[in-house]
Each structure stands twice: as structure tokens, then as C-alpha cells.
């Protein structure tokens, strides 16, 4: 079976991940390698597995590994509750078993040892990578102590498999770097140093980790900006950052007159860490060099040798693909988030009214999209307030949101004295004919002060979660009136309006469904949670009111972006009170 490098921006599925693992397995070992999903079903297998057990690849595909192969010494199926291999899969742990019985296709029993290590893709799929081998082929003595630096073929294979699964299951650069360090220290070295090249070709010492008293300790004092790379420097780190092959280094390497600032920093690194032997390899992406990984030994007496170079190059090759993916993800996320934020408006100043807004992007770059808020003047004393959500979670939804927002502004501003329902009806008609938006939810409201000095909110709701009114004394209720069908549904039913007087020092909060919806809880639970938390925060300043609600209420498993628009009315003044007392 041919392996495939795991790259690109998409999240790998089980087959893609297993192909990547088996590519390594087929190249470096003759042991049987079988990849299973979280249910224990076989996803992929290598030629050694077919030869050892007598099955063709297509006969393995989709079969339950335990039911198909696992037996006791009499050839009878092993109960699932007693299967250590299955327990390792469910626990998501790396475990080893010795001399258990498995059955070939021809019915013959073979005694094999096994090694199982978990994999998890960035899209959340998981399973285990299983190596089956004859018990006398690799003894436990040969496996040895990995901390002593003697890695067997199976140890190397397990490390490469774990590197692939650990690094491809994250799209966060800093998390990927920490995982890379924990994979190599203390298994291969006492120190791990990762230098990265920025998009401006500047060098940053992104992570320095040491193994001390059984813990991995990050040395922030050794991290930070580095001098530039010289094009003609023969020193190991400079060569690695230019993409040259991996090499060995030691304190003596940097004892002579330094040829660059990087050489000075490297000499300091060896002095500070006490490393007597190091190995340095470039971290290459698909298109360019991303950085370099340095592994160093200080406490361990054995030095790195040239036989360690291929393993480190395999590790950094996988790290490069993972970092490429993470950087691409962050770049896409920033582009999408910047686009979304530029589409959102600056809030107007309304005398006497506090107003603020928040936009929180979705956890995934591809989920940026259709949530928006708006506020703008209609007449000298009336302002429009809008919260909305275009169906979809992608850049198409974001573009559709811009269309809807601009049309709504034009309709509302050209008919400033019309009821919100009339403007919403005109927008709904326009969506059917001139916009590329399938459906959207929205609340359109107008805010104006009455003759009694109190502010009034008039609104219509097109299928959107209701606004929340929080009074200064902590009473909170949803404004459920004025509710009609969402935009784009094709209905000609009349749209209702509603109006309410806003008490002094009260807060009105408009929000999108990402604040209250969760895949694992109904929206009623989310609405109740929002109401209770908002009531408790009624007297907080408006800015912290919004920030704390987002922290406390937004579901942790939310995959949607969130928009919030909040306003607070002024407190009643003594003049207002006197005016009301003197009124007939």
C-alpha cells in the first residue's frame, strides 16, 4: 500500500491518516501493520499483514480486528471484555502485549506480540495503529530502555506513527511545537530547541524545553528573536535554516571566532544548557523551509551519531507538514476574520445611550460567515438597530451578509418613518429577486425617545432569537412579541411589529444563535442560561457586561460565530422625576 503525506488545508479522515502511517510502516519494517478506527474496524493494512495472516487487503477492509483475528490458545474467540488490545483502543493509550494467539485465514494459529498506539485526526476521528510481530523477532531486551538512546526498529516506527498522529491532530502552531518537543524529550534527548522562520525571513527561537526531574520545563529565558541567517555560513543551524541536510554539533562547533550573530547565540545555548552533543535538522514545509529542530543531550552520556540523522529527518518532515497546515489555517482564519470585521460597522453615538457590540469568530476558519450587527441614524431622533444571521458558515455567507446589510440600510434610510415590519417585508421581497442569499434571520428595531423622556424600542423579528431586556434591579425577560417568519422563506404573511418602553438604566441585548445554541443542548437551555447570567450582571458596566456574558454563556462546543449588539438607557434624573410628578 502506498502512503500519502498528510498536507493541505483540509482535515484528514481515517483513510488519509492511515495511509500516511502505513507509508512509513511499509518502508521501514517487515512487521504486520493494521490501522483500525475507534470501533475496532480495519481501515488499512500493509503487505506484511497480508503475508503473515493470509488475507488480501480488500478482505481485511471493514472487518472487526478482534472478531476476525483474536483467539485463545484453543482457537476459540477471546471475550471482548478480556481483550487487552481492545482496552488499549478504548483508552486511547499506547500499550504492548506479549505472545497472544491470532488466527490466519487458513485456520492456523500463530502466536504474536502486539504494539498499539492511538491516532486522532484534526477532524476528530480516531482509532489505533497496531503492529503484530512474532514474539521471537524482537525481544523485550532488544526493545531496551528508550531513555538510554537505544531505539529498535519498532521503537522508531512507533515514534514516527505517534509523531504523525499527534501533529496532524492540531491546527495550532504553538500546540504543535509543544507536542513536537514532548515527542522527542526525553525519548531522544534532554533538550529540544525549535527555531522558526517568519514570513519576513526573520528567525525566532520559538521554544526551548528541557527534561528535569521527570518534567518538561520551558525555558523562556532562552527564547526570543534571533539574528538573521547568513547565506554563506557553514555553521549547522544556519545551514539547517537554509534547508541543508541535518548535521551533528557540539560545544566545539561554536568555540572558534563566530561568523554571525546566530553562531554567538548557539555558543550561548551550549553554555547555558550544558549540552555535550546535539543534532540539528531543517523543518521543511511543502514550499519552503519553516525552521529547524535541535535536540541536545546533557545528562545522558551517549552522543548522537550519524545513524540518528535519518530518524530526526523523518520526524522533522512530518513536523513540517503539520506546521504548514497550521500556518495555512491561521492565515485563512486571519483573512476571513479580517474580512468579517471590515464588513461590520462603526457604531453611531446616540446622546444619552450607551452602545457596544462584539463579534467572536467561529473556532474554524471555514465557519466565518453570516452573523452581523448594525446601527445607524434614520432621522435626527431615531436610530435603526439590526442583528442578523445569513444561513451558512463560509465566505459565501459572509458575502451574502454584506448584500443583505447594504440593502437593508438603503431601504430603511429611504423610508425612515416606516414601521420596521414594512422595511423587513421590502427586504424579503428583494431577497427573492436580486440577492444571492437563500435565507436569513433578522431583528430590525428603531430606538427613539418619547415625550415622557423615556426611550422606546419598536421592532420586528424575522425568525431570530428574541432580544433580552435586563432591568437595573436584575429582572430579565425576553421580548418575544413582533415575531414573524425568517427572510427568504417565500411566505407572504404580514409581518408584525412590537413596541416597549425601556426603563431607565436598563440593558437591551441583541445576539445571534451561536451564543445560545449547542449541538448537545436545546436552545431553551441556552436561552435560560443567558437570562440568568445577564440578570446577575445587570449592574456591571456595559462593556464588561458583554465580555463576561460571552465568557460565561457561549457554549464550549460552539462551532458558530457570535455577534452581539447591546445598549443601555440612561438613569432617570431628578428633572425627569419632577417632570413626571408635575404632569397631569
Q: Say how far apart CA 372 and CA 369 lie, in whole Å.
A: 9
Tell whether the model's pLDDT for residue 325 goes beyond 70. Answer: yes
Give the N- to C-terminal CA distance of the chain in Å, as an integer.
90
For the stretch 448-490, pLDDT in tens is 999 999 999 999 999 999 999 999 999 999 999 999 999 988 8
How, if at all, do strands 70-71 and 476-478 pair? unpaired
Judged against a pLDDT cut of 50, whether residue 21 lies above it is answered with no
> Most confidently modeled of 149-158, 317-326, 570-579?
317-326
pLDDT-based confidence at residue 520 (cuts at 50, 70, 90): confident
Give the sign of the dihedral formed by CA 298, CA 299, CA 305, CA 309: negative
Q: Are 34 and 14 spatial neighbours (Cβ–Cβ below 8 Å)?
A: no
State the Cα–Cα distance between residues 231 and 368, nearest whole angstrom.
Answer: 41
Write down the domain spans for the chain. 1-148, 170-342, 344-582
Of the chain, the percentage scoring pLDDT greater than 90 comes to: 51
pLDDT confidence of residue 164: 83
**pLDDT of 373 strictly over 50:** yes
Question: Per DSSP, which regions of 79-227 are E strands?
Answer: 95-103, 109-120, 126-134, 191-197, 203-212, 215-218, 224-226
| The pLDDT of residue 240 | 95
pLDDT band at residue 2 using 50, 70 and 90 as cut-offs: very low
Q: What pLDDT was estimated at residue 125?
A: 79
> How many Cβ atoms from other residues are within 10 Å of residue 501's Cβ?
12
Instruction: Pick the more confident residue, 511 or 489.
Output: 511
Ordered DSSP codes for 483-545: EEPPBTS---PPPP-EEEEEPTT-EEEEE-GGGT-BTTB-HHHHHHHHHHHHHHTTTS-HHHH
Instruction: Give the model confidence (pLDDT) of 30-61 as tens digits.
Output: 678 899 999 899 998 888 888 889 999 899 99
pLDDT of residue 499: 98
Q: What is the mean pLDDT of residues 426-444?
A: 87
How many CA atoms within 13 Å lie on the side-chain side of 449? 14
The answer to whether the 1-148 and 170-342 domains have the same CATH topology is yes
For the ranges 12-26, 144-158, 513-527, which has the lowest average pLDDT?
A: 12-26
Confidence of residue 434 (pLDDT cuts 50, 70, 90): confident
Q: Of 18-27, 269-278, 317-326, 487-496, which gets the smallest average pLDDT?
A: 18-27
> CA–CA separation, 515 vs 549, rounded Å?
9
Three-class DSSP category at 377? strand
Of the two residues 546 and 78, the one the predictor is more confident about is: 546
What's the mean pLDDT when you consider all of the chain?
Answer: 84
Task: Examine the pLDDT at 139 and tell me if it is beyond 90.
Answer: no
pLDDT at residue 135, as a whole number: 54
Residue 454, classified by CB atoms within 10 Å of its CB into exposed (0-12), middle (13-18) or buried (19+), is middle
Cell digits of residue 373: 450587527
Query: 259-273, 482-496, 527-541, 565-579: which has the minimum mean pLDDT?
Result: 565-579
Q: Locate 441 and state its grid cell.
A: 434571520
Position 504 pLDDT exceeds 90:
yes
Homologous superfamily in CATH for domain 170-342: GAF domain (3.30.450.40)
CA distance 343 to 135: 64
Q: At what angle do helices 309-343 and 153-168 cross, to 10 degrees?
A: 0
Q: How far apart are CA 349 and CA 309, in angstroms?
A: 64
pLDDT at 264 over 70: yes
At residue 118, the pLDDT reads 87
The model's confidence at residue 207, banded by pLDDT at 50, 70 and 90, is very high
Q: Is the pLDDT of residue 552 over 80?
A: yes
pLDDT at 512 over 60: yes
Higher pLDDT, 157 or 261: 261
Q: How many CA atoms lie within 13 A of 455 on its CB side?
A: 27
Residue 297, beta-bridge partner list: 277
Mean pLDDT of 182-201: 92
Select from 486, 485, 483 the least CA-distant residue to 460.
483
CATH top class, domain 1-148: alpha beta
Residue 169 pLDDT class (50, 70, 90 cuts): confident
pTM of the predicted protein model? 0.51
> Which residues does residue 101 pair with via DSSP β-bridges, in sequence order?
71, 111
The pLDDT value given to residue 342: 64
Residues 531, 548: Cα–Cα separation, whole Å = 13
Question: What is 344-582's CATH number?
Answer: 3.60.40.10
pLDDT reported for residue 365: 45
Q: What single-letter DSSP state applies at residue 185?
A: T
Cell readout for 195 is 527555531
Average pLDDT over residues 143-165: 66
d(C-alpha 22, C-alpha 28), whole Å: 10
Q: CA neighbours within 13 Å on the CB side: how many for 112? A: 23
- On the question of pLDDT at 516 being above 90, the answer is yes
Give the Cα separation of 80 and 221 in Å (integer): 51
Task: List the one residue out of 247, 341, 258 whose CA is nearest residue 295.
Answer: 247
Q: What are phi and psi of 475, to 5 degrees?
A: -75, 135
Amino acid at each position: 500500500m502506498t502512503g500519502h503525506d498528510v498536507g493541505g488545508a483540509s482535515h484528514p479522515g481515517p483513510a488519509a491518516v492511515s495511509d500516511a502511517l502505513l507509508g512509513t510502516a511499509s518502508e521501514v519494517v517487515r512487521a504486520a501493520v493494521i490501522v483500525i478506527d475507534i470501533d475496532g474496524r480495519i481501515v488499512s493494512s500493509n503487505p506484511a499483514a497480508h503475508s503473515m495472516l493470509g488475507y488480501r487487503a480488500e478482505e481485511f477492509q471493514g472487518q472487526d480486528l478482534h472478531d476476525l483475528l483474536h483467539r485463545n490458545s484453543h482457537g476459540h474467540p477471546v471475550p471482548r471484555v478480556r481483550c487487552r488490545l481492545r482496552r488499549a483502543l478504548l483508552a486511547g493509550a499506547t500499550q504492548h502485549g506479549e505472545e497472544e494467539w491470532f488466527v490466519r485465514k487458513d485456520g492456523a494459529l500463530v502466536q504474536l506480540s502486539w504494539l498499539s498506539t492511538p491516532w486522532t485526526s484534526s477532524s476528530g476521528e480516531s482509532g489505533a495503529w497496531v503492529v503484530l510481530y512474532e514474539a521471537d523477532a524482537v525481544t523485550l531486551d532488544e526493545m531496551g530502555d528508550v531513555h538510554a538512546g537505544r531505539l529498535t526498529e519498532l521503537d522508531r516506527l512507533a515514534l514516527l506513527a505517534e509523531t504523525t498522529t499527534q501533529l496532524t491532530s492540531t491546527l495550532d502552531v504553538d500546540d504543535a511545537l509543544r507536542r513536537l518537543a514532548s515527542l522527542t524529550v526525553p525519548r531522544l534527548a534532554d533538550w529540544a530547541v525549535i527555531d522558526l522562520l517568519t514570513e519576513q525571513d526573520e528567525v525566532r527561537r520559538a521554544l526551548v524545553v528541557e527534561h528535569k526531574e521527570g518534567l518538561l520545563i520551558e525555558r523562556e529565558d532562552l527564547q526570543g528573536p534571533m539574528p538573521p541567517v547568513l547565506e554563506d555560513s557553514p555553521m549547522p543551524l544556519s545551514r539547517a535554516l537554509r534547508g541543508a541536510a541535518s548535521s551533528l554539533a557540539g560545544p566545539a562547533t561554536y568555540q572558534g571566532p563566530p561568523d554571525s550573530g546566530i553562531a554567538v547565540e548557539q555558543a550561548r545555548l551550549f553554555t547555558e544548557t550544558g549540552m555535550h552533543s546535539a543534532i540539528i535538522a531543517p523543518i521543511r514545509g511543502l514550499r519552503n523551509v519553516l525552521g529547524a529542530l535541535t535536540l541536545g543531550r546533557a545528562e545522558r552520556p551517549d552522543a548522537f551519531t550519524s545513524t540518528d540523522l535519518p530518524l530526526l529527518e523523518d520526524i522533522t518532515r512530518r513536523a513540517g507538514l503539520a506546521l504548514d497546515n497550521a500556518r495555512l489555517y491561521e492565515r485563512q482564519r486571519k483573512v476571513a476574520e479580517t474580512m468579517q470585521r471590515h464588513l461590520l460597522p462603526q457604531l453611531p453615538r446616540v446622546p444619552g445611550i450607551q452602545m457596544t457590540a462584539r463579534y467572536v469568530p467561529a473556532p474554524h476558519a471555514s465557519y466565518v460567515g453570516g452573523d452581523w450587527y448594525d446601527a445607524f441614524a434614520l432621522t435626527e431622533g431615531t436610530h435603526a438597530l439590526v442583528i442578523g444571521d445569513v444561513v451558512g458558515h463560509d465566505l459565501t455567507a459572509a458575502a451574502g451578509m454584506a448584500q443583505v446589510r447594504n440593502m437593508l440600510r438603503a431601504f430603511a434610510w429611504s423610508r425612515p418613518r416606516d414601521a420596521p415590519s414594512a422595511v423587513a417585508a421590502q427586504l424579503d421581497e428583494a431577497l427573492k429577486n436580486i440577492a444571492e442569499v437563500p435565507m436569513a434571520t433578522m431583528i430590525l428595531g428603531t430606538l427613539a425617545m418619547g415625550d415622557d423622556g423615556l426611550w422606546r424600542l419598536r421592532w420586528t423579528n424575522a425568525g431570530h432569537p428574541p432580544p433580552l431586556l435586563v432591568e437595573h434591579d436584575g429582572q430579565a425577560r425576553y421580548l418575544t412579541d413582533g415575531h414573524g417568519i425568517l427572510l427568504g422563506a417565500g411566505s407572504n404573511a404580514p409581518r408584525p411589529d412590537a413596541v416597549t418602553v425601556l426603563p431607565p438604566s436598563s440593558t437591551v441585548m441583541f445576539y445571534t444563535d451561536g451564543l445560545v445554541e449547542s449541538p448537545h443542548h436545546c436552545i431553551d437551555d441556552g436561552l435560560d442560561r443567558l437570562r440568568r447570567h445577564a440578570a446577575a450582571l445587570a449592574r456591571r458596566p456595559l462593556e464588561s457586561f458583554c465580555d463576561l456574558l460571552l465568557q460565561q454563556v457561549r457554549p464550549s462546543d460552539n462551532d458558530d460565530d457570535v455577534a452581539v449588539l447591546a445598549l443601555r438607557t440612561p438613569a432617570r434624573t431628578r428633572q425627569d422625576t419632577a417632570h413626571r410628578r408635575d404632569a397631569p
